[in-house]
Amino acid sequence: MTPLWWVLGAAVVVSGSVYAAARAARRQLRRSRDDHSRRPELWERFYSVDWGQTCTNNYGYAPASGDHPQRFQHQMYRELFIGLNATGSLRSRMSLLEVSCGRGGGLDAFLSEAPECFDAIGLDVAPSAIDYCNRTYRRDGLKFVVGSALDLPFQPNHFDVLLNVEASNDYGDRAHFFREVARVLKPGGIFLYADSFRSRHVATVQKQLTDAGLTVEFRDITKNVLEACRHDTPRRREVLRRHAPLASRLVLGRQLSNYAGLEGSGKYRSFAEGRRTYLMAAAIAG
């Protein structure tokens, strides 16, 4: 999703009048937006916020099965599982890594589709996120580690499956991340990938994947994401009202709406008007 670290990271620390806070926060946003070296610190601040039971962070996919409050977010991971199954590669005891697992709800939903099939690792740059995961999830064959997407702490040819959802736009060097993916996947391994891009950049992203040695055929799920955002807007508004720091809600309401993909927000309109495209793939390592 659009990086909330530069929304909450600025707003959490501001004080004084709303006007002064707004100016300070917006100055920090401008400084931080393109400074990728600061992102681990700011993601740590984001995941240190008490988000209650919310543990899966993506725009969602509709239609979604079940009645779980985060069913649209879980469905995004189920669709990726369906994509893996369609490759014919699914078998028992596959090694799986999720890069940027956050609070782990998506990985947990993915593993629930076939719990006997995976030995899994969730990796995130934020220690607070990994601490939450270690406190929350108890599955055999599942562990969580702190690490960077641009320097994956694993040997070459290590994993059968690598999972990455709505995170690659935040890395600063997406092409390098794709090379890391190809490095740690076994030959024939599967990269389950979902993210959104400005529509004019889709061809560039496809070339970056190909150049990294990954064979990819994208599936455009923009309409499904839009439908999920529309249906899920009331819940997302309530999550922000209950859990986003007061300063961020007072000062950066528009940015929070964009981050959450609320119906009517700028991000929602960018999907609806075709300026932004959401893609999913099960890419194969060479």
* CATH superfamily of the 71-222+276-285 domain: Vaccinia Virus protein VP39 (3.40.50.150)
In terms of Cα–Cα distance, which of 227, 222, 180 is closest to 197?
222
The pLDDT, as a whole number, for residue 183 is 98
The pLDDT, as a whole number, for residue 37 is 75
Q: For the chain, how many helices (H) and strands (E)?
A: 12, 8
The pLDDT, as a whole number, for residue 15 is 38
The structure's pTM equals 0.89
Profile the chain (286 residues) by mean pLDDT over runs of 10 residues: 49 46 56 68 87 95 97 98 97 97 98 95 98 95 97 98 96 96 98 98 98 98 98 97 83 86 97 98 97
The pLDDT, as a whole number, for residue 29 is 54
The pLDDT, as a whole number, for residue 246 is 81
